[in-house]
Chain A
Amino acid sequence: MSEFHVKRKDVLKVSVVYLEGYLDAHTAPEFERALQELVDEERVHIVVNLSELTYISSAGLGVFMGFIENIRGKGGDIKLAEPTDKVFRVFDLLGFPVLYEIFKKENDAIKKYKTS
């Protein structure tokens, strides 16, 4: 059994996705399914809370990249919140802060949708 879980909470038009555990080539499809579900429901204002994500590899990063264009095309976005230092370092290494807004607090990410 993989130690990876995806949970979701809807806050009005925003959906917060919580990733727990490790996101690698084995667990990435589960995250993909969660994002696809949101897209299918037309819920494209997404915040991904990374506070319980202990590890990410390029397979996990690839899930974000695979969805972002479509979601932004629909007028939505994927904002990232509360990454651990370890996970943030991987994002930073690849320059992801250029493409994704990363927030220290989940609420700040949610509020950004109200102001944009």
Chain B
Amino acid sequence: MKPSYQKAWFFVLPVLVLVAFNALIPMMTVVNYSVQETFGNNLFFWQGVDWFEKLLNSDRFHAALGRQFLFTGIILAIEIPLGVAIALAMPRKGVWVSVCLVLMALPMLIPWNVVGAMWNIFTLPDIGLLGYFLNHVLGVDYNMTQSPLAAWMTIVAMDVWHWTSLVVLLSYAGLVSIPDAYYQAAKIDGASNWAVFRYIQLPKMKRVLTIAILLRFMDSFNIYTEIFVLTGGGPGNSTTLLSIDLVKIALGQFDLGPAAAMSLIYFAITLLVSWLFYTLMMRNET
């Protein structure tokens, strides 16, 4: 049992100050704006929950929210199983392991705008590697700037390319922590490969998988830069996800009230779902 020591607050004080500075003050500002109206002349008028009402009834908001959930749903459905499968297929020991892991981690260290730019160049219809391949070798009509479907498939492919490795590395870490004796016992018990996965590997990976799902949910729900650089939210607003919409309103139109209200709702959704996962994860810990 950890001893009780109230002076420990001094240890966390620097952290508290720095994070609170960045979190609380902006938050207060946002809350402030969300309940007021300004006509751009620095005069503020109380609006109460007006903005929230308008927003929750707004088609534009619903559309962006829907697109966001669709996007997050798709990439979770692809990245989690794919990441686990790759981790399962990797050798558990050997010199190639660190080489593999380093190469796999590379996409995650590329600045997000470069990721977007990279995929932009990659998918240009006539001069990009993938674009050329699809249009001129396979004969498929592929143009991201014109077809919403093509745009969606591209942003999904980009995110899978970008982040599946996170799931791989987490799952792999979970897998290698399983002592050999379990596999040996399963061999002796005559267990099939499926049984080994279901009764040994999957249970032991539960904790890392929860972390993986939590992280991927949070980050994909908040995604901005890569998609903005790649598609700008288009064609039209077919790939305008929540963050992109928010920045458009806040920095583009300077509609402080609606932007602030949207920020709070957005934050609340992220927080709620993340809290659910977090509780699940902490429950497994005990």
A and B interact physically = no
Q: Identify the A interface with B (CB < 8 A).
A: none
